[in-house]
Amino acid sequence: MQYKKTKLKNGLRIVTAPMENTETATVVVMVGVGSRYESEKEAGLSHFIEHMFFKGTEKRPTALDISEELDAIGGEFNAFTGKDMTGYYAKASAENFDVALDVVADMYLNSKIEEEEIQREKGTIIQELNMYEDNPQRNVGDVFEKILYDRNNLGREIVGYKKTINSFKRKDFIDYMKRFYVANDTVVCVAGKIDEKKVIDQIKKYFSKMPKGKKPAIEKVKESQTKPQVKIKFKKTDQTHFILGNRAFKRNHKDRFALGLLATILGGNMSSRLFIEVRERRGLAYYVRTATESFDDCGYIETQSGVEHKNLEKAIEVILIEYRKMTVEKVSEKELKKAKDYLKGKGVMGFEASDEVAMFFVDQEVKKEKIMTLEEVFAKIDAVTAEDIQRVAKKIFTKNGLNLAIIGPHKNGKKLEKLLKT
């Protein structure tokens, strides 16, 4: 998969990735700002801005005008807000891609952000916040990050608080966007069946006048954990949801590929160690999975599951046993090859879709990483040895570095802290 990178005079970056065997094209506009850039009074503003971009521009005055135009071509469109980035995208048939590009560019550059719409949208976002609160399987991730990053904005929920959501005025949006929505921190990526030169010219026409700026720095995470930590969010639920994990590597760490394989072997698929031990052999859970997350300055590995309340300790014990095994026993060549082939297979399948390709490239570029092709990623995966995985496991899976987040009808955190120390 070949790609081309173009940089405008204002610093805006364009990444194009033509694809032959598809009839679709996708545009993603991503800016390198998310909830961790907000002050406490601005909590939730990045996410609120994402909502407001769908509320109308001068050219398309209402939310209906935007959605009708994209629906009329059978397009898929949405947006997302993370801790350190916000993205807007649309996917359409190649013949209708000009419309998708025009709509997304118009939303990103020309949204009206009207006070009346802000007041109306507050209700929608508070209902979204309530929805997350009623979904412990999702909300337990916020509890886990609160343990790790309690004294940093990274530990705050992306959606913000009801208090801040209700406090926002139009000026808050405009001031925030002037600080952070700048050309030199914006990336436009297009992948699919495209005329590359034409697309680059169109993007230049839309974005060349976007102002550049210097966004404020963020407070970096200071990690100094010396003992296991447990945080329980008491809630009367039918099932206990929990995450058990350790601090790991920041975004560009040299061992990130070994860590990814470690997570895959532990709980990345239906033949992984934890899926077999927790679900298939003991029937403790319907789902159990291990994953990693990374930011510019920190990262973690986590295992999440949902169990009967009475089986919480038993499930934790099984996971801890598998964590320890990774530190004392090298994985077999067969198991390592299976994990490598799984990750590469997922990568190849993803590259059949223009939206997956666009996300692959824009994600790397907005993080200011050196863009790696899929082949280069595969080479890094193939280079990982069983010794690398054991070395990483020994470094990551320490007793004093364990963190446990729980949502369910539990109160005895001391008992669980003791379990983590055994």
Sheet holding 402-408, edge to edge: 229-234, 402-408, 240-247, 299-307, 285-294
- Asked whether residue 62 is assigned to any structural domain, the reply reads yes
Task: Answer for the pair 240, 254: CB distance below 8 angstroms, yes or no.
Answer: no
C-alpha distances in Å from residue 95, one per residue of 1, 101, 322: 22, 12, 51
pLDDT of residue 329: 97
Distance CA 44, CA 158 (A): 6
Rounded CA-CA distance 296/220 in Å is 9
Lowest mean pLDDT among 214-218, 269-273, 355-359: 214-218
Q: Residue for token digits 């508070």?
A: 126
Q: 341 in a domain, yes or no? A: yes
Residues 203 and 233 both lie in one domain: no
Average pLDDT score over residue span 286-308: 98
Q: What is the pLDDT of residue 12?
A: 97
336 and 283 together in one domain: yes
Please indicate, yes or no, whether residues 388 and 294 belong to a single structural domain of this protein.
yes
pLDDT-derived band at 305 (thresholds 50, 70, 90) equals: very high
**The predicted structure's pLDDT at residue 154:** 97
* CATH code at position 29: 3.30.830.10
Q: Do 293 and 416 have their domain in common? A: yes
Q: What is the mean pLDDT of residues 2-16?
A: 97
Structure tokens at 343: 């990750």
Q: Assess if residue 224 is contained within a domain.
A: no
Residue 291 is inside which H or E element, if any?
strand 285-294
Residues 112 and 199 in one domain: yes
Instruction: Band the pLDDT of 247: cuts 50, 70, 90.
Output: very high
Active site residue 322: no
Indicate whether 215 belongs to any domain. no
Same domain, 353 and 390: yes
pLDDT of residue 215: 86
* Domain stops at, among 155, 174, 207: 207
Residue-wise pLDDT tens digits, 315-342: 999 999 999 999 999 999 999 999 999 9
Confidence at residue 323, expressed as pLDDT on a 0 to 100 scale? 98
Distance CA 401, CA 298 (A): 14
Give the structural domain span for 303: 229-421
Q: Are residues 11 and 126 in the same domain?
A: yes
Domain boundary among 157, 176, 207: 207
pLDDT at 216: 86
| Shared domain check, 160 and 303 | no
- Give the long-range contacts of residues 268-272, CB within 8 A, separation 24 or more: 268/339, 268/342, 269/342, 271/338
- 212 within domain boundaries: no
In this prediction, residue 369 carries a pLDDT of 75
Of 38, 50, 69, 157, the catalytic one is: 50
Residue 1 has pLDDT above 80, yes or no: no
Nearest to 202 by CA among 222, 217, 181, 188: 188
pLDDT of 92: 98
Tokens of 315: 């499930």
- Average pLDDT over the chain, rounded to an integer: 97
pTM recorded for the entire structure = 0.96
Q: pLDDT per residue over 191-223, tens digit each?
A: 999 999 999 999 999 999 999 999 888 999 999
Q: Kindly state the DSSP code that residue 57 receives in the 8-state scheme.
A: B
Same domain, 142 and 234: no
Which is it for strands 24-31 and 86-93: parallel, antiparallel or unpaired? antiparallel
Residue 107 lies in a domain: yes
Above pLDDT 90, what percent of the chain? 96
Q: Within this chain, do residues 298 and 352 fall inside the same structural domain, yes or no?
A: yes
Residue 28 lies in a domain: yes
* Of 207, 238, 265, the domain-final residue: 207
Same domain, 119 and 176: yes
Rounded Cα distance between 36 and 33, Å, is: 8
Is residue 393 scored above 90 in pLDDT? yes
- In 3D space, the residue among 148, 291, 317, 128 whose CA is nearest the CA of residue 231 turns out to be 148
Query: Do residues 145 and 267 share a domain?
Result: no
221 part of a folded domain = no
Give the residue-averaged pLDDT of 155-172: 98
Q: How many domains does the chain have?
A: 2
